[in-house]
Structure 1
């Protein structure tokens, strides 16, 4: 009897699923012990796979760290798109920006995990732990560009005398939301207060009677 008939057909491995299994394990290790706790051994144990398998998919520690950072930003990006789709084409710039910003706040367990991981990468870049700031800038820059586009749209809908700078305002908003997320993790502010501060920030940038 052949392998197919004997039930011994080799299982097809979904490599993307396996990669995600490993990067999810990296996230959990970071949440519990910070970036310094991440090794091939701790990640393989957390993922329930061999060290050799982790090395097969990610040749170096830096490879799986950067892949983990990308996975966090991709998850956040997917949520942005879901929120935008739910808002519909008639969403105002303020509604669109609010949707983006609240997805970056640690308002539930998943977003809290992501905020901790991103904070760990930021600290690693500051302290020289093998990850440079430039290697993690692509996603924040994309976020700034999205917010700036919405601010330009808002300016177009307001009076022609509006002299605001969408690019600078987008940088300010993005930096502020990052600090607010870290403040929530440290217990400096509550979820309710954080959402209120987002609204206040949007009032300051867009005005209280915004489109």
Structure 2
């Protein structure tokens, strides 16, 4: 079995801070203070520094040389439109490629992620819901184009989600993903793409 079940403290902290940033829990433009984070989390500044560097590389923080890391400001409309275009182009390609490459196991994996989304919806766990949402889209993007495509797609998605807020109910988002998955299972590429575009708009 190749699946990793144990994550380092550094990976766990990166995941926690990533989720908080994506959910907009930090004030735009605020500094990610190494000393404060290290004290609050009971970790060394060295670990926190590596975590912040990782988040910077993922496009979730700005690095003001010599002054540390800062939370990104919200996207302006022009930039947001451009990033949505990039994301939609990648996911449209991925849906078409997924149709040719997907196995029964891949559809089962998407069902599992959708089930996670539904559970988080019922429990009103916003951060976990967002992570499952990203996992759903990321799964078929990675299958379609491997790590190269996924690594292009991921920071775009992270950036779009930051400061987005909750624009619709959890349940409507679950329903949209169910529509996407059902269309994919039925080999209905057009409906799947239309549903994807509706979901990410």
The TM tier, using the shorter chain, reads 0.3 to 0.5
Which structure exhibits the higher relative contact order, with contacts defined as CA atoms closer than 8 Å and separated by 6 or more residues?
Answer: 2
Structure 2-normalised TM-score? 0.37
Q: Give TM-score, length-normalised by structure 1.
A: 0.36
Higher gyration radius (CA): 1
